[in-house]
Every structure is written in structure tokens, then in C-alpha cells.
Homo-oligomer: A and B are copies of this chain.
Amino acid sequence: MSYTILSASNLEAYLLSLPDVQKFFGSSTRLDIEEIGDGNLNFVFLVRAAETPSQALIVKQAVPYLRCVGESYPLSKERMTYEIRSLEHFATLTSHIPRIYYSDEAMSVIVMEYLGKHRIMRQGMIAGTLYPKVAAHLGDFLAHCLFKTSTLYLKSSEHRHLVAQFIGNGELCKLTEDFVFTAPFMKHETNADLPELADLAEEMAQDLSLKANILALKQLFMNRSDALIHGDLHTGSVMLNQEETYIIDSEFAFMGPMGFDIGTLLANLLMSWVAHGAHQNYAYQAWILTTIEDFWQHFSSTFRSLWNAVDHSALFEKGFAAPQLLHVYQETYMCQLLQESIGFAGCEILRRQFGIAGVEDIRGIDNATVRERANRHAVALGRSFVNHYLHVKSSADMLALIKESHAR
């Protein structure tokens, strides 16, 4: 179908024309439709069978402008193409993706499972909820999706095909280049107006080795095609409960550095850790650190197990060397991946303090003193990560950097 903007008035007829959706709703031919999108980019509809509201689906459509501004800010609707392609690809590799019932790149639309019993992870963490399985789930998700879209697993031609499939997602990559790696570190009209952090902003502006490291990390982001990454894996892209964890909102997906996904996730867990520290919720802080540790252990051991089970890939031809070689190379590889993850995490933490997009965990703190304490602690941690990422040799080193950090 050629592109038409969906709305409450035409959505019912559109959905009931799609065999897979019709099948989902069965005999129900009246649908209740509610627009629930609170994001900046897209329209999101919750669609329920009128007679059996527990039968529900989500319909997400991109419009050719930035939703939160309006038609005056054009943004290509093709971003949905990359969300569709990445979610469908991830769904072949992991169970942590909502079920997809229908998608249409030309319509920039995707119809998927409604996660009615799940909550956005950021909100859950702000509320101090414990999620005992999330570390393993996120480790599992990233290990499978990153490993199985890399040259460690795929054939050379398959890896190159993925690069080609996602190379068009430049508009959203450019948003990351600008708003994660650039604007927050200079005077820029889009940055948050935070006079209370002026001394830190000025200090950072003068810190040439910090800025050189940020350039090196931006350069990695623009020039490395390790794996199909989500591209925006913060805690607002995770929906979960005590039992299940799902990843959503992958419109930034492209073939990029693995450490960017790991780093974005770590950074957002750590900003919650910082916020809870400023609130003196030390027990929840301890849970977050344990979760980070468990996440990395689970991720790295799953990643290595998957790797050990492969005897032929683009990188490694069967018979290239004795099995011990793989262990020698894996040590180097995993260490570098951890380092890059920490570097990217540092950029993400810093840009969330100074840049246009803060995190509710910190910017949402009502008490100005507490908020500033959290801001200053986050800046110190972000700087420490960016300055020292190449010296980290193990997750213990990373935890030491975290624990040594404090507001300045």
C-alpha cells in the first residue's frame, strides 16, 4: 500500500484489511482505538477488540516530520523502515522482541504485540522496582543480537548484506553524531540551559584529552560496522516486568560498534544509580551495581559460548589455528569491547547532563539541591569513563571507576 497517514478515523478499516491482523482479532470486527504515543517521533495507537479489550495490539506509524514539533520540522518517515528491518531481524535471534503481526515499509507502519503487563524500565527504576531477571535478559539479548550479526558468526557476504540494508539510516545516525558526540561538548543552542553546571561545562571545554577521546569514540561510531546495533538502547527502550523483558524502539538501528549499545545501556543504568545515590537510596544503588556486574558477566559468558560453538565464520576459517588461538584472541576482543563500551557510556552520561535530551531519572528530580548533586556526580562519572576507558582491563576495573566517582 502506498503511504497514507493513519488516524483514528481510517485505522479500523486499514487493520481489518490485513489478514494477519484480522486473524488476531478473530470474530471481532469493531475495534477501540486510542492514540497513546508520548514520544517525539511517531504516532502509536493502542487497538483493542471492542467486545474483548484484552485482545490488543500496538500500531506504530512514522510521519514525515518530527511529531513533537509538527510538519514544520521534516524528518524522513523511512526511519520506520530501519525499525521494521531491525526488529524483524532481532526477532529471529532472540525472544526479547515483541511479536510482530504485520509490517509495511512503504506505509512506515508496524503492528505488534501490546505489552500491557510491562512497564518502561526507566519508570520502574525511578520507582525503585527490583527486576531480578533483567540482567540476564539484557545480557542474553545483546549477546545473541550482536554476536549473530557480526563477522564472528556470519559469512562475509551476509555481514555485508546487513551493512547494505541499514546504510540508508543516515538521518538517525546523524542525530546521534550531533546530539551524543558533538553539541553537548560545545556551546550549542540545543543544549540544556543549566547555569548551575557552568563551572563543569567550562572545565570540560578546556579538557583537551577528554575531547580527543570523544572524537576517537565518535570516529568509531561513524566507521565501524561490527554488528546490527539497536542504536538507542537506553532504559526507555526496554519494557519489562519481574518475568519478562522486551526491547522496543529500534529506529536508530544500523551496522555499528557493539560497544555503543552496551555503553548506552550501562550509562542509563548508571544514571539511575547516581540519582538513587543523590536520594540516599543506597539499597537500590547496590542492586543496580549488582545488576551491572551480572549483566556484563552474563553478556560476556553468553557471547563467548556462542563464539566457542562456531567453527567457521567470516573471521575464522575452520582449521585456521588450534582452538587455544580463539581463547587468546577472545581475551583481547572482549577487553577491547568492554573498553569501548565504557567510553561510549561516558559520552552518553555526559550528553544526558549537558545536551538537549536529559534523563527523567535526574532532570526530573524536583529538589534543586538533590538534582544538582546528581548532575555533578554524573558528570564526574562520565568524565572518568571517557578519560580512562582505554585503561580498563576487566569489569572489576569498571566497577572501581564507578565506586570511586563522586560529585564535584
Interface residues of A (CB under 8 A from B): 151, 156-157, 159-160, 163-164, 167-168, 170, 173-174, 177-178, 182-183, 185-187, 205, 208-209, 211-212, 215-216, 218-219, 222-226, 314-317, 319-322, 324-325, 328-329, 332-333
Among B173, B218, B315, point to the contact of A219 (Cβ < 8 A): B315
Most chain B beta-carbon contacts within 10 A, residue among A156, A182, A208, A212: A212
Bound: A168/B300 CA distance, A: 32
Q: Which residue of B lies closest to A257 (CB)?
A: B223
Q: Would A208 and B177 count as touching, CB distance under 8 A?
A: no
Q: For residue A157, which residues in chain B have a CB less than 8 angstroms away from its CB?
A: 170, 174
Bound: A385/B222 CA distance, A: 28
Q: For residue A159, which residues in chain B have a CB less than 8 angstroms away from its CB?
A: 222
Bound: A224/B256 CA distance, A: 10
Shortest Cβ distance from A162 into chain B, in angstroms? 10
Shortest Cβ distance from A142 into chain B, in angstroms? 17
Copy number in this complex? Answer: 2
3 tightest A-B CB contacts, nearest first: A212-B329, A212-B328, A160-B170
Q: Would A208 and B322 count as touching, CB distance under 8 A?
A: yes
Q: For residue A211, which residues in chain B have a CB less than 8 angstroms away from its CB?
A: 320-321, 325, 328-329
Bound: A219/B168 CA distance, A: 23
Q: Would A177 and B163 count as touching, CB distance under 8 A?
A: no
Shortest Cβ distance from A335 into chain B, in angstroms? 12
Q: For residue A314, which residues in chain B have a CB less than 8 angstroms away from its CB?
A: 177, 222
Bound: A322/B209 CA distance, A: 12
Q: For residue A332, which residues in chain B have a CB less than 8 angstroms away from its CB?
A: 212, 216
Shortest Cβ distance from A5 into chain B, in angstroms? 26
Bound: A203/B330 CA distance, A: 22
Jot down 23 A-B pairs with beta carbons below 8 A, ordered by A: A151-B222, A157-B174, A159-B222, A160-B167, A160-B170, A160-B173, A163-B163, A163-B167, A167-B167, A177-B314, A183-B317, A208-B321, A208-B322, A208-B325, A211-B320, A211-B325, A215-B316, A216-B332, A222-B314, A222-B315, A223-B225, A223-B226, A225-B225
Q: For residue A226, which residues in chain B have a CB less than 8 angstroms away from its CB?
A: 223
Bound: A187/B317 CA distance, A: 11
Q: For residue A167, which residues in chain B have a CB less than 8 angstroms away from its CB?
A: 160, 163-164, 167
Given contacts A186-B317, A187-B319, 15 further A-B contacts (CB under 8 A): A151-B223, A156-B173, A156-B174, A160-B173, A164-B168, A178-B317, A185-B321, A205-B321, A208-B324, A208-B325, A211-B320, A211-B321, A215-B329, A216-B329, A222-B315
